[in-house]
Chain A
Amino acid sequence: MSDLLQIAALVVLVTVAGGLLRILRGPGVADRVMAAQLLGTGGIAVLLLSSVATGAPALLDAALTLALLAAFAAVALVMTAPGRGGRR
């Protein structure tokens, strides 16, 4: 079971890393924020899967922190995004 969950974590990591291409390409600010959001969610999934796979409960706390801070970071990105009256 542990091996399978580790492979699952790797698969999530691969898909999320693929999503990073969207940050690179853009084109708009909204697309970059979306990719960052996906990275946050994927990071949480990776932490949860590795927590169960390796029997490390501390990773759950890391996932909890990431869940809070990823929401905060996404809001910060949207609130300060250029185009809201600022320069592009």
Chain B
Amino acid sequence: MSLLLDTFTILAVLAGLFFFAAGTAGLLRFPDTSSRLHALTKADNLGLGLIVLGLLPQMGGVLPALKLLVIWGLALLAGATVGPLIARLARQEDAPP
């Protein structure tokens, strides 16, 4: 059982790392601000989410696991509200003054 859970952890964390790397690559390589924002939200939501998912079986208790989920929830909430704000800011910047 523990081997199964450990394998799950490793796979989920690896997937999370992939999304972090992809998000960063997008942030660096994509040509315009909107595409870069799109890349960033992948790292934010999926990267952290998969790492949280992978770490859940390793927490050794329900309460620490819940705390982990709360942290992810906060990051989601922040990402969901800051994303549109950044997009609006980018539109204002593109518009001629």
List residues of chain A with CB under 8 Å of any chain B CB.
Answer: 1, 4-5, 8, 11-12, 15-16, 18-19, 21-22, 28-31, 33-35, 37-38, 40-42, 44-45, 48-49, 52, 57, 60, 63-64, 67-68, 70-71, 74-75, 78, 81, 83-84
List residues of chain B with CB under 8 Å of any chain A CB.
Answer: 6, 9-10, 13-14, 16-17, 20-21, 23-25, 27-28, 33, 36-37, 40, 43-44, 47-48, 51-52, 55, 58-59, 64, 67-68, 70-71, 74-75, 77-79, 81-82, 85-87, 89-90, 92-93
B55 CB to closest chain A CB (Å) equals: 5
Q: Is the CB of A75 within 8 A of B33?
A: no
B29 CB to closest chain A CB (Å) equals: 10
B93 CB to closest chain A CB (Å) equals: 5
Q: Is the CB of B24 within 8 A of A64?
A: no
Q: Would A30 and B33 be within 8 Å (CB), given that A41-B47, A48-B68, A48-B71 are in contact? A: yes
Contact count A vs B, C-beta below 8 Å: 141
Q: Is the CB of A15 within 8 A of B40?
A: no
CB-nearest residue of chain A relative to B13?
Answer: A8
Q: Is the CB of A37 within 8 A of B79?
A: yes
Q: Is the CB of A30 within 8 A of B79?
A: no
Q: Would A78 and B82 be within 8 Å (CB), given that A44-B75, A45-B48 are in contact? A: yes
Q: Is the CB of B23 within 8 A of A45?
A: no
In the complex, which residues of chain B have a beta carbon less than 8 angstroms from the beta carbon of A42? 20, 43
Q: Is the CB of B36 within 8 A of A34?
A: yes
Q: Is the CB of B92 within 8 A of A84?
A: yes
Q: Would A41 and B48 be within 8 Å (CB), given that A30-B33, A71-B81 are in contact? A: yes
Q: Is the CB of A75 within 8 A of B85?
A: yes
